[in-house]
Amino acid sequence: MHCNSCHSPSRRLQALDRWENRLEALFEGRPYDALDAALTDTISRFPVHIQPFRHAVAVPDCLLATLHARLLVCITSPPSTAA
């Protein structure tokens, strides 16, 4: 069985990596956009810890394993032919 969007799992993982990098930059005072700037301002004024935000963008190990398994199936399976 060949999935229709073979790059979906890897793109999801890449997107989560980007969000995590963006989050770290935000807490280091380097906002990406106006919304990040608002949160950066809040972080600078109040004792907000990064961990709850990390949990929000983290991928549970079981989901990560599922995404990797789907990606492996997509890579190793030949495209299905329409009958």
Per-residue pLDDT reduced to its tens digit, 45-81? 988 888 888 887 776 666 666 666 666 666 666 666 5
pTM exceeds 0.75 for this model:
no
Instruction: Using pLDDT thresholds of 50, 70 and 90, give the confidence band for residue 2.
Output: very low
In one-letter notation, the amino acid at residue 63 is L
CA dist., res. 56 & res. 29, Å (int): 19
In one-letter notation, the amino acid at residue 20 is E
Name the strand (E) or helix (H) holding 27.
helix 8-27
| Total of domains in the chain | 1
Residue 2 in any domain: the answer is no
Residue 31 in any domain: the answer is yes
Residue 1 in any domain: the answer is no
Q: What is the pLDDT of residue 35?
A: 87
DSSP 3-state of 55: helix
Residue 82 in any domain: the answer is no
More confident residue, 30 or 16: 30
CA dist., res. 9 & res. 6, Å (int): 7
> What is the extent of the structural domain holding 36?
8-76
CA dist., res. 31 & res. 19, Å (int): 12
Residue 3 in any domain: the answer is no
Residue 48 in any domain: the answer is yes
Q: What is the pLDDT of residue 28?
A: 93
Question: 50 near 42, Cβ under 8 Å?
Answer: no
Statement: residue 19 has pLDDT above 80: yes
